Amino acid sequence: MSVVTTERHGDVLVIISNNPPVNALGAAVRGGLKAGVEEALADDGIKAVVIRCDGRTFFAGADITEFTKAPVPPSFPEMIETIENSPKPVIAAIHGTALGGGLETALSCHYRVAVPSAQLGVPEVKLGLLPGAGGTQRLPRVAGIEAAVEMCATGNPVSAAKAESLGLVDLVAEEGKLAETAIAFARECVARGPRKSSAMPVKGDPAYIESFTKANARKFRGFDAPAANIACVEAATRLPFEEGIAFERQEFMKLMMGSQSAAQRHIFFSERKASKIDDVPEDTKLRDIRKVGMIGAGTMGGGISMNFLSAGIPVTILEMKQEALDRGVGLIRKNYEATAAKGRMKPEQVEAAMSILTPTLDMADLADCDLIIEAVFENMDVKKEVFGKLDAIAKPGAILASNTSYLDVNEIAAATSRPQDVLGLHFFSPANVMKLLEVVRGAKTAPDVLATAMAVAKKIRKVAVVAGVCDGFIGNRMLKPRQIEAMKLLMEGATPQQIDKVHVDFGMPMGPFQMSDLAGVDIGWHRDPTRIENVRDALCAVGRWGQKTGKGFYDYDEKRNPTPSAEVQAIIDDFSARSGAVKREIGDEEIIERTLYPMVNEGALILEEKMAQRASDIDVVWVYGYGWPVYRGGPMFWADLEGANKIKAGLEKHGFAIAPLLAEKAASKGRFN
């Protein structure tokens, strides 16, 4: 059956697209829409046209998978012009998400009807692109400059109600009654006649563009697409429509050919691929997760709990002492209230979340939980003891998870009589905010346990990646060689600020030493101030534990602004002299070669050892867990851009042992992704 069909409702022709899963506007859909409008034009009995979609959503955009293929007609502009130039009014009937090319198609229609739950947006910027089918030129005309620049540059959608207030939607239809409302509205529009967005004057104050750009400069740092989106909207304010369209086309093509969009599209598909487990069938029957048990109400346990509470899943949270329990529960409430104060949550939502949280001091209260997550002190003996006890009380079939960030999940599982039910769920701090979840698959983890964990992750809006059992799993394992090398560079003459700056200029949110200060320089420290064996020991011994003590590798003022520290430099110089290192000028390129190339090398080892299913999973871990700039697509995607040969040569120059897989890629000019 054709993906686009038509239905006659008296004098209204309804064009219906049915292209699951998201009605992407591939060639067949574009052709179908164009043909549908032409059918209406050829039929004197038809006075108006409605375009709507079957399935879960209105058009979610161009078909991104077509971007790397030869173009197939009709083109977007051809289809859009056919719709807009129709002398009979065309009405878009919107449900679900009208996104990108989907909203642009709706904008080429003369009127728009939407249900209240609909979302309308142009998220192209998130793919390193801009709305290239007239969106940057029609939106300022229909919705005004302010909304257009915000929607294009941030990619954030607006609700149907907001769209109505902007003039982007003409009528909000009752939920479930979209088709009939749109047909009735189409009849009303016959007398009004077609209304072309392209012929409307641009609304609003162009001065807003400059203030918006200034206010968001930090957020857009490093990205090409936001500026291009803004430039196109700005062009709309001063150029005739046709010239604006030509400018938009030119800017779109520039972005499309660039590496940033390729990287961002790579991450879009990688994120979705990550949820697929190679040897676990997609139709695996999942375990029911209705109630979660949380062991530990510290920062991590509290943050993890919030994910479930926000998703409406009840949590029983366990601590050993009343005081710690009260503090943990208090912190959860405080975090929710802070979110509400920022307007991102309603007070009743805060209460709803808190009402399904049950604090307890008795582990037996976890007996009816379907998933129990342990977030206690990172120590194998402690974890084994907890799992041994859990084994005795948890109901049969309950999933037992550890939030360990590097310990051996198999050893933890062996402390129970049900290793098939055990796995690692490694959340990243702050756990209620960070998108990444490493799902650590033990040697005996059952396939349905793994599949259930991936499904639960989606429910709590995490991006989950499967990792094998190895020290540090995917993310922290790759972090280690970077940290080691950064410390060595200090001994050889680089400063913390120089190394951090190279990382920030690369696009990371912070460098290795800023990260250390944020996480706590004392993490993993032996806590003996008289035992000073390296720079870290020396910093900890003088109370330089990081931001929490106001000083670490940097000094911090009360607003947590860092400044380089003479005390730290003296400690570094002292160790450097004692190590016999010859200090020299270190170039930025060497910092890249010695801190980022070893990560790629480690990534290659991870792939060889099958600790990650695919290179793109490693990219997802680094983008969502550590702030690797999405416009560089993750370390393995970046390695492909750099070229395996260059990376191998750089590593060899500095005496690193080359991972066999990297050597193989270098020899064959192959890619990881």
Please list the active-site residues: 104, 124
Strands 97-99 and 90-94: unpaired
Query: Which residue lies nearer to ligand 3H9 by CB, 128 or 634?
Result: 128
In the structure encoding, which two tokens stand for residue 350, read together? 């805060």
Query: Which residue lies nearer to ligand 3H9 by CB, 446 or 463?
Result: 463
Using CB under 6 A as the binding rule, whether residue 431 contacts ligand 3H9 is answered as: no
312-337 per-residue burial string, b: 16 or more CB within 10 A, e: under 16 = ebebbbbbeeeeebeebbebbbebbe
Query: Which residue lies nearer to ligand 3H9 by CB, 143 or 600?
Result: 143
* CA 587, 590, 594, 598 torsion-angle sign: positive
**Contacts with 137 (C-beta within 8 Å, 6 or more apart), sequence order:** 198, 232, 235, 236, 241, 244, 245, 248
Residue with tokens 């990534």: 603
Site for ligand 3H9 in 244-273 (CB under 6 A): 269, 272
Distance separating alpha carbons of residues 575 and 584, to the nearest angstrom:
15
The answer to whether 359 touches 329, Cβ cutoff 8 Å, is yes
Query: Which residue lies nearer to ligand 3H9 by CB, 62 or 636?
Result: 62
Instruction: Tell me the closest approach of the beta carbon of residue 218 to ligand 3H9, in angstroms.
Output: 24
Question: What is the Cα 256 distance to its own chain's centre?
Answer: 20
Site for ligand 3H9 in 38-97 (CB under 6 A): 57, 60-65, 76, 97
Query: Which residue lies nearer to ligand 3H9 by CB, 99 or 166?
Result: 99
Strands 315-318 and 357-360: parallel
Site for ligand 3H9 in 92-121 (CB under 6 A): 97, 99-101, 104
**Contacts with 70 (C-beta within 8 Å, 6 or more apart), sequence order:** none
Instruction: Tell me the closest approach of the beta carbon of residue 194 to ligand 3H9, in angstroms.
Output: 23
Give every strand in the sheet of 371-374, ordered side by side.
357-360, 315-318, 292-295, 371-374, 399-402, 422-427, 436-441, 463-468
Quick one: which segment of 16-24, 215-223, 326-334, 572-580 binds ligand 3H9 (CB under 6 A)?
16-24
Site for ligand 3H9 in 18-37 (CB under 6 A): 21-22, 24
Query: Which residue lies nearer to ligand 3H9 by CB, 544 or 614?
Result: 614
Task: Calculate helix-pair angle for 496-506, 588-595, nearest 10 degrees.
Answer: 80
The answer to whether 19 touches 1, Cβ cutoff 8 Å, is no
Dihedral angle computed from the Cα positions of residues 294, 297, 299 and 300, in that order, rounded to the nearest 10 degrees = -20
Burial (0-12, 13-18, 19+ Cβ within 10 Å), 39: middle
Quick one: which segment of 123-131, 167-175, 436-444, 595-603 binds ligand 3H9 (CB under 6 A)?
123-131
Site for ligand 3H9 in 126-165 (CB under 6 A): 127, 129, 131-133, 135
Query: Which residue lies nearer to ligand 3H9 by CB, 97 or 613?
Result: 97
The residues of the shown chain that bind ligand 3H9, judged by CB under 6 A, are: 21-22, 24, 57, 60-65, 76, 97, 99-101, 104, 123-124, 127, 129, 131-133, 135, 269, 272
